[in-house]
Amino acid sequence: MNEMIRKKYAEKLSTADRVAGMVRSGDRIFFAEFALRPECLDEALAKRAGELTGVMVEGVCITRVPKFIEADPKREHFIYNDWHFSGVSRKLYQQGLCSYIPFTYHQGPRVLRKYKEYDFVFVNARPMDSQGYFNFGMCNSLTSAAITKAKNVVVEVNENMPHCLGGNQESVHISRVDYIVEGNNPLIQEIRPATPSETDEKIAEHIMKEIEDGACLQLGIGGLPNVIGSMISRSSLKDLGIHTEMLVDSMVDLYNEGRITGNYKTIDRFKMVYTFAMGTKKLYDFLHNNPACASYPVNYTNDPRIIGVNNRVVAINNAVEIDLFSQVCSESAGVAQISGTGGQFDFIFGAFYSRGGKGIIGLSSTFTDKEGKIHSRIVPTLQPGSIVTVPRSIVQYVATEYGIVQLKGKSTWERAEALIGIAHPSFRDELTRQARDMKVWLDRNRPDA
């Protein structure tokens, strides 16, 4: 490390309390992403809760309740907005402590650069390297864009964060940093893979038939992607590639087994491309200084034009419900926000432009409510207030435990017929009756049909 960089570091070194003391009422703060959290800055901000009002804080899919929110249970001092709801965000939303920012994930950096201004950006990072760079670790997606719109860039150092290679914009140089806080180096939070259900297994069996050698995979979050990873391990598939928004544990296993090579990718050949990673220590250890992985901002990973360049992209995502018009809701239960648009639209749209690509929506055919009543996830129309995550014009494949259907190029009645065919058998007759009432059903037995 040269003397000039060392001197800059010493000049910019501060404490969390000193930085938090600079925050004023009405300020806007960008507050890290996913499993990363600047712990010391969070605690210092929480201490000042009673002194501040109208401080707007924005994060991305928090995985733990921040201390500053715990210190403000009536939302009198901090207004927290989340760019994507996790289970934690959803509970805070239900308590009136969190709001959602609607956006299409690949447009996020552009939205920030066009419309946002931040007084502070709090960023977790690796200790500075000999060239003066702080690496963002497992979360690249919006961070670099937020930094370009910040009056004050604050880096909280954590030695336990993996050093994740780019890609691009995976680091920030000390010349662009205003304050450095040497944190307490907590272990990175581990997010255990969801346990797949028997229904996930059945859905995955149908999806597996659509994956071929040399496919380039994007897997969303949840039990279904995990079981698909497990099934690929037991299959004969080979030379798979990864271009995804989220890197998960199952991809580590597939790489170590030799299933993932990236040999047939058109761009970023041999690289596992992602914008954030979330999982267990196994994943974080795998990422550390691993040239097989490439971290990019989300406007690269999720740009449908980029996604479509690779051949045989298979994008697999979950949904809450789908109606007989083939509109997909993946983020709300009626008016209640439970998740977010995320990258689902990006990858379903992008996969269609990939030669041999397939964008797949997977969902169980039914769910059971709190009273024990069973409901169909394939419905005549989305319930009032439901958010359309993927419009019918973009939907390609839909899979349940009863099969998989391709809807592109099909008429409204053909789509309704196909979806009823993969609905739970107990609901098919009623769905058919409702389709007739809505005039989206062609009765083949009628002489004038």
Q: Which of 58, 156, 245, 321 is catalytic?
A: 245
Which residues, 6+ apart, have CB-to-CB distance to 127 below 8 Å? 134, 157, 159
Residues 417 and 431: their CA atoms lie apart, in Å, by 9
Residues 206 and 208: their CA atoms lie apart, in Å, by 6
Strands 150-157 and 179-182 turn out to be parallel
Residues 144 and 134: their CA atoms lie apart, in Å, by 12
The two tokens of residue 284 are: 């974080």
Instruction: Look at residues 413, 231, 375 and name the one whose alpha carbon lies nearest to residue 314.
Output: 231
Cα dist from 358 to 139, 199, 310, 411, whole Å: 27, 21, 12, 19
SS3 16: helix
Instruction: Look at residues 140, 120, 112 and name the one whose alpha carbon lies nearest to residue 28.
Output: 120
Give counts: helices (H), strands (E), the chain.
16, 27
The two tokens of residue 7 are: 């001197």
Looking up tokens 């993996």 gives: 162
Q: What string of DSSP letters covers 116-168?
A: --EEEEEEEEPPP-TTSEEE-TTB-TTHHHHHHTEEEEEEEE-TTS----BSS
Which residues, 6+ apart, have CB-to-CB distance to 305 below 8 Å? 350, 353
Q: What is the DSSP letter of 39?
A: H
Measured torsion, CA atoms of residues 250, 103, 30, 92, in degrees rounded to the nearest 10:
-80
| 245 in active site | yes
What are the residue numbers of the active site? 245
